[in-house]
Amino acid sequence: MSGEKLAILGGPKAKKTPYRKGMRFGREELKELKEALAQNTLFCVKGKKVKQLCRELADKYGKRHAVATTSCTAAIHVALGAVGVTVGDEVITSVMTDAGSFMPILWQNAVPVFADIDPRTYNMTADTIAAKITPQTKAVLVVHLAGNPADMGPILKLARRHKLQVIEDCAQSWNARYKGRWVGTMGHMGVYSLNDYKHISVGDGGIVVTDDEHLAGRAALLADKCYPRDATGMRAGRMCQFLANNYRMSELCGAVGLAQLRKLDWICDRRRRHGEALTRLIEPIPGILPPVVTPGGEWTNWYYLLRIDEGALGVSRDEFMKALAAEGLPAGFYLRRVDQYEMFQNRSIYPPRKDGFACPYDCPAYKGHVRYEKSDCPNVDLVVQTGIILQMSEFYTDRDIRETAVAIAKVAAWYAAARRGN
Ligand SMILES: Cc1ncc(COP(=O)(O)O)c(C=O)c1O
């Protein structure tokens, strides 16, 4: 057998030094938090921090309005309500995403419909969306996966043609750009996550942005129990005109968010550089399929998702991943196609009723016939079956990236040689 012996077989590890770690939170967050506490209120309507976070984020992305929420799931719910998604509607989103993308569709008593992804960019495309449009389709929730912008040009054109509302789910793609434009700024509304896994964190939080004053006004009501408030926070206008939740962000989260926002560019630039460097290093390795950044896109590499050609390497993804882990790489996968979840296969969205009536599918207002067939989305299976997620961090060093590439090359070369029989 040629090449250095794999660590999983007792050879030396390719990753010689531990990945560099760093502190995400520090003096900047503490300063903001102290100021928040000194306000003697943690209520966003009375305090200044959440308002300032919204202002700074809106300014950064060149949008007129931002509304803060308790999570991105909440932000998506608010955005869906704002654009008018309601009972009987279908909303198209990605077949590979977090539950936070589709749960809010169901909370609107609408029906999620899942579009396939491109097997190299991992994003839904105009073609995969077009295949799912029906007379019931009201909106598209475009997921920009793993820091890679979706190909928005054709998607926006398609949406315009079919008069669809477009919400961009940027939970995993802070600061990614498409043809010079920030993700989240191209559709009717954009949403971002501040949960603890994301580029920046307040523990849990979300934000909706839009240029549209009417949508912003509705979003504010939908996030605040439909309490209309004027600039001073006092009641103004009619109370509780429609169903809405309490998704208000606290001043503590707003304070941390402000400090985090000021680190965002550095974090995203580092991650992008690391991703680009890793791709350059592993691209030439036979049997390794690095992610492809959408043409015209700038990605921010939330996690690094590569695929392997199991046939060329003569090894299964699971075995390859175990070998990488033994070399010292934080490799894993939680890749799932969401349409196969129990709740969709069994239509068990709500607790069962004695008469078997299953909302929203059996709702008289719903005239569609969505089916969650495995054969509907063939590309996603390629990613689910052969994808490997490498964790990414802005704190990694250039050496971390080089050693990651060396480990991948070593494991690939070992199995390829074994396949050839040398
Ligand atoms: C693509 C996507 N959308 C939505 C969400 C939901 O975000 P949150 O956890 O802030 O509710 C996530 C979270 O992982 C996500 O990755």
pLDDT tens digits, 248-258: 999 999 999 99
Give the Cβ contact number of residue 343 at 10 Å. 15
Task: Kindly give the distance from the C-alpha atom of residue 366 to the centroid of ligand 1, in angstroms, as a whole number.
Answer: 27
Torsion angle (degrees, nearest 10) of CA 166, 85, 302, 250: 120
Residue 33: per-residue pLDDT: 98
Give CA separation, 325 vs 273, 397, 415, in Å.
Answer: 23, 19, 15
For the CA of 197, the closest atom of ligand 1 is 14
Q: Which residue is closest in CA terms to ligand 1's atom 16?
A: 98
Residue 368: per-residue pLDDT: 97
Q: Which residue is closest in CA terms to ligand 1's atom 7?
A: 72
Question: What is the average pLDDT across 344-368?
Answer: 95
> Looking at the DSSP assignment, which residues form a beta bridge with residue 91?
112, 139
Q: Give the pLDDT band of residue 31 (cuts 50, 70, 90).
A: very high
Ligand 1 touching residue 143 (CB < 6 A): yes
Ligand 1 touching residue 69 (CB < 6 A): no
For the CA of 75, the closest atom of ligand 1 is 11
The predicted-structure confidence for 32-60, as pLDDT tens digits, reads as follows 999 999 999 999 999 999 999 999 999 99
Task: Kindly give the distance from the C-alpha atom of residue 194 to the centroid of ligand 1, in angstroms, as a whole number.
Answer: 9
Q: Give the pLDDT band of residue 394 (cuts 50, 70, 90).
A: very high
Q: Which residue is closest in CA terms to ligand 1's atom 14?
A: 98
313 CA to centre of own chain: 30
Question: What is the average pLDDT across 21-32?
Answer: 98
Ligand 1 touching residue 101 (CB < 6 A): yes
Ligand 1 touching residue 50 (CB < 6 A): no
* pLDDT > 70 fraction of the chain, expressed in percent and rounded: 98
For the CA of 74, the closest atom of ligand 1 is 11
Residue 388: per-residue pLDDT: 95
> Looking at the DSSP assignment, which residues form a beta bridge with residue 389?
305, 332
Of the listed ranges 70-84, 219-233, 285-299, 401-415, the least confidently predicted one is 219-233
Q: Give the pLDDT band of residue 24 (cuts 50, 70, 90).
A: very high
Task: Kindly give the distance from the C-alpha atom of residue 63 to the centroid of ligand 1, in angstroms, as a whole number.
Answer: 21
The predicted-structure confidence for 260-270, as pLDDT tens digits, reads as follows 999 999 999 99
Residue 332: per-residue pLDDT: 75
Task: Kindly tell me the burial class for residue 192, based on how many C-beta atoms sit within 10 Å of its own C-beta (0-12, 13-18, 19 or more).
Answer: buried
Residue 2: per-residue pLDDT: 58
Residue 420: per-residue pLDDT: 84
Question: What is the average pLDDT across 145-153?
Answer: 98
Question: What is the average pLDDT across 230-241?
Answer: 78
Using most ligand atoms within 8 A of CB, pick from 69, 80, 145, 172 the residue to mutate for ligand 1. 172
Residue 335 scores a pLDDT above 90: no
Of the listed ranges 161-175, 332-346, 380-394, the least confidently predicted one is 332-346
Ligand 1 touching residue 97 (CB < 6 A): yes
Residue 239: per-residue pLDDT: 87
Ligand 1 touching residue 170 (CB < 6 A): no
Ligand 1 touching residue 195 (CB < 6 A): yes
Residue 121 scores a pLDDT above 70: yes
Q: What is the pTM of this model?
A: 0.97
For the CA of 73, the closest atom of ligand 1 is 11
3-state secondary structure 65-103: EEEEECCHHHHHHHHHHHHCCCCCCEEEEECCCCHHHHH
Residue 330: per-residue pLDDT: 83
Q: Residue type at 207?
A: I
Q: Give the pLDDT band of residue 236 (cuts 50, 70, 90).
A: confident
Task: Kindly give the distance from the C-alpha atom of residue 191 to the centroid of ligand 1, in angstroms, as a whole number.
Answer: 10
Ligand 1 touching residue 209 (CB < 6 A): no
Residue 145 scores a pLDDT above 70: yes
**Average pLDDT score, the chain:** 96
